[in-house]
Structures are given as C-alpha cells and as structure tokens.
Chains A and B, each alone.
Chain A
Amino acid sequence: MSGAGEPATVSIPIHDHAATGKAPAATSSAVPAAAAAAPAPAAAVAPRKVGIPFFRRGDHHRGSRCLAFLDFILRIAAFGPALAAAIATGTSDETLSVFTQFFQFRARFDDFPAFLFFMVANAIVAGYLVLSLPFSAVLVLRPQTIGLRLLLLVCDMIMAALLTAAAAAAAAIVDLAHNGNLRANWVAICMQFHGFCQRTSGSVVASFLTVVILMFLVILASCSIRKR
C-alpha cells in the first residue's frame, strides 16, 4: 500500500468498504470520478434533462441511482390503485329500486365497519405515498444517504402491513357478501346489490395490487442498503 496514495483517497468524500482489497482500486478510479463529479453539478445547472448528467460512465453510484429511480417510479405506480380504491369505496352507495320486508334497501360503505377501515387505510397509504415522493427524489440525487433509505423502508413496511390488514378485512366481508355462509345463516347480499358489490370487489383487488408494489419497494430498499 503506497503512502503517497492514501491522503488522495481520503480527501474524496466517498464512503467505501473498509476492506483493503477495494482501497487500492478506489485510488485509481476515484481521481477521475472526482474530476467527473465536479463538472456534473455544473452541468446540472445548464438547461438539460434531469436524468442525463447522473448516468455517466464515471459515476460509480450508478447502480444505487438506478434502484432509487425505480423506487420513485414504483411509488407513483402504487399511488394510483390506492387512491382509486379509496375513492371507489368512498363513493359506493346503492339504493335498490324495489324493497322487500326482509332487506334494507340501501347499502353504503358506512354500514360495514370493515369497509370504513379499508377506505381510511387506503386514503392514509395514498397520502403517505404522495408525501414520500420528495424523499425518494432526494435519494435519486444523493444515493449515499443510508438513513433516509432506512426511514423509507421502515415507513413502507408499516404502511404495507396496515394496507394488508385493511384489504384482508374488506376481502373477508366481500367474500361473505358474494357467497354467504350456510352455517351462520348469513345471506349473500350481492344478489341484490350488484353495483355495490362490484365496486367494493374491484377496490379490494386494486388495494392488493398496491400491497404487492409496497412489498416490492421494501425488498428494493433493502437490496440497495446491502449494495452500499
């Protein structure tokens, strides 16, 4: 290990592994990377597209930046179904034109506490996804912040668990509404309330899609934490 090379390595603020095998290799690539990183912020000021200065050849954060960009895109993709599910459940209100002595003739999501919980949880997750978009954008620009990634992973996990619980509860009620239960004498109400049933079934499916995307976001975040 050359003594002249060590201070040059240290002066560049790149947090690399402590393993000695990486340090001599980093000295040779670190100096051109420093030269490339200096014009890169200057080039970002120029009127260009945002993505181009970051994916240069000398940028050795390219892998994490790709993952962070994918994270950003997936967040936007997850926001759509969550918001759609919340709105669809919130506006589900069906009044039958005919009424009998045994059934009430109006169904709203308010009548089922599981659907209320489902709508509230979807609204919370949709709001969280919107609020976490700036943090994800910061991660694209500065991929080396581990604390922010960890925070996003924790919050993503909590939101995924909440949304799974809400979607599963709503799915249980929807299944009961479709099939009924012979043993407990619970009648399938979907025979009467077609529109209400279709709307809530569709929003449960959309909500499960959001859960899958959120889980994928958690895996992605832990992959990029490991990669560093």
Chain B
Amino acid sequence: MEGKAAVTTSTEHGEASKTSARTVVIGSSRGGAASRALSVVDLILRVVAVVATVGSAIAMGTTNQTLPFFTQFLRFKAQYSDLPTLTLFVVANSVLAAYLVLSIPLSIVHIIRSRARYSRLVLIFLDSVTLALVTAAASASAAIVYLAHKGNVRANWFAICQQFDSFCDRISGSLIGSFAAMAVLLLLVLLSAAALARR
C-alpha cells in the first residue's frame, strides 16, 4: 500500500523522476509476484529434498548382509555401523531431513509475507550450515564407497565389494539421494539470496 502511494506521488513530478518512478513501479507490482514465485519454488524444492534425504538415510540405515560362508580373514556380516563414516552419513541425513521438515513452515511464511528479510537471512544461514554438513557427510562416504569398490593397492586395502555385493550396491545407491539433496540445498541458498536481492 505504501509503495503504491509513493508511485502515484512521484509520477506527478516531471521527467527527472521517471527513472526512479520506473524502478519503484517494477519494485512494487512485478517484484511481489516474482519473489512469490521464488518462494513457491523454494517450498517445492524443500519437499523434494526431504524425500531424497529420507530415502537415502533409510537405504543406508537398513543395510545388513550376512554371507552364507565365512573365511578366516573376513568377517561374514556387514552393516553400515561397521564403517564410522557411513554412521556419520546416516546421522547427517537424518539431521538434514529433520531440519528441512522444520523449515517448511518458515518457507510457507515467506510465500505469504514476501517482505520478510530477517527470516530470509536466518534461512540462508541455516541452509548453508546444513549444506556444509550434508556435503561433508556425502562426500566422505563417497570416498569410502569408492575405496570399498576399488580398494587401494599401495595401502593394501582390500576391496570389500567383491564379497559383499548387495551391501555395496545398497550403500552406492543411497549416495545418489544424498547428492541430489545437496544440489537442491545449494539451489535453495541461491534462490534465497536472489529473493533477498530483489528488495
């Protein structure tokens, strides 16, 4: 309402005020719709990220493979908790899923009130912190999964995927959901920053 009043009074005065009037017009009529669209996209991306993260955590958390035979050198049972990095992965994904679910109301508030600035800043801060967390967890477990697939000749680390193939498939597949959630979070931070710059 105040924006509209400023537009009408400033367009009355001469040609020198055209540029500022034009920017004010763009700011109040189209800017509201554009940032509202950004907030809707934000909400949709958050829901997508929740689904990806929960799927990833469940896929990793329910890994349990017991080999029908056993040798002297290798244990015959593999779980995600045997590798501490994969435990970190499950924990970080659970934290991310909880955070995303809790931040959906805040995103809805942004759709309703497009002028909220402090809450967008808080959202950017929390989003980037969780982005760092999930990137670290996903990347560390990607390194471990790569090691499990290929092994390392120099360090004499044996590739365990040759025995535990179903366990290996599961942990490799659950990385995909986590990396997708990481890309979505990155996009969310950039969207929030773009919406903040539109004011």
- Chain B interfacial positions (CB closer than 8 Å to A): 2-3, 5-6, 9-10, 13-14, 16-17, 19-20, 23-24, 27-28, 73-75, 78, 82-85, 117-118, 120-121, 124-125, 128-129, 131-132, 135-144, 146-148, 152-158, 160, 182, 186, 189-190, 192-194, 196-197, 199
* CB-defined A-B contacts under 8 Å, sample of 14: A11-B16, A19-B3, A104-B153, A113-B146, A114-B143, A154-B190, A165-B138, A167-B136, A173-B147, A176-B144, A183-B83, A185-B73, A222-B193, A225-B196
B144 to chain A, nearest CB (A): 6
Tell me which of B6, B128, B137 has the highest count of chain A C-beta atoms within 10 A of its own C-beta: B128
- On whether the beta carbons of B78 and A185 are closer than 8 Å, the reply is no
CB–CB A181/B83 < 8 A: yes
Q: How far is the CB of A180 from chain B (nearest CB, A)?
A: 9
Chain A residue nearest to B142 (CB atoms) is A169
For the residues of B in contact with A, the DSSP-based class is helix
- Contacting B at CB under 8 A, from A143-177, are 146, 149-150, 153-154, 157-158, 160-161, 164-173, 175-177
B73 contacts across to A, CB distance below 8 A: 185
Residue in contact with B132 in the complex, picked from A170, A175, A211, CB distance below 8 Å: A211
Known contacts: A165-B135, A166-B139, A168-B136. The answer to whether A184 contacts B158 by CB under 8 A is yes
Determine whether the beta carbon of B140 is less than 8 Å from that of A169: yes
In the assembled complex, how far is the CB of residue B22 from the closest CB belonging to chain A, in whole angstroms? 12
Decide yes or no whether A1 CB sits under 8 A from chain B: yes
Q: Is A133 an interface residue (CB 8 A)?
A: no
Whether A154 pairs with B154 at a CB distance below 8 angstroms is no
Number of interface residues of A (CB under 8 A): 59
In the complex, are the beta carbons of A111 and B197 less than 8 A apart? Answer: no
CA distance A69 to B121 in the complex (A): 21
Query: Assuming A18-B28, A20-B5, A154-B190, is B135 touching A103 (CB within 8 A)?
Result: no
**Cα–Cα, bound, A185→B71 (Å):** 13
Q: A165-B139, A183-B75 are in contact. Are A222 and B20 (CB under 8 A)?
A: no
Asked if B146 and A19 make an inter-chain contact with CB atoms under 8 angstroms apart, the answer reads no
Q: Does A107 contact B (CB under 8 A)?
A: yes
Tell yes or no: A47 within 8 A of B by CB.
Answer: no
**In the complex, A3 Cα to B24 Cα: how many Å?**
18
Interface residue A10 (Cβ < 8 Å from any Cβ of B): yes
Residue pair B155, A177 in contact (C-beta under 8 Å): yes
Q: In the assembled complex, which residues on chain A have CB atoms less than 8 Å from the CB atom of B83? A: 181, 183-184
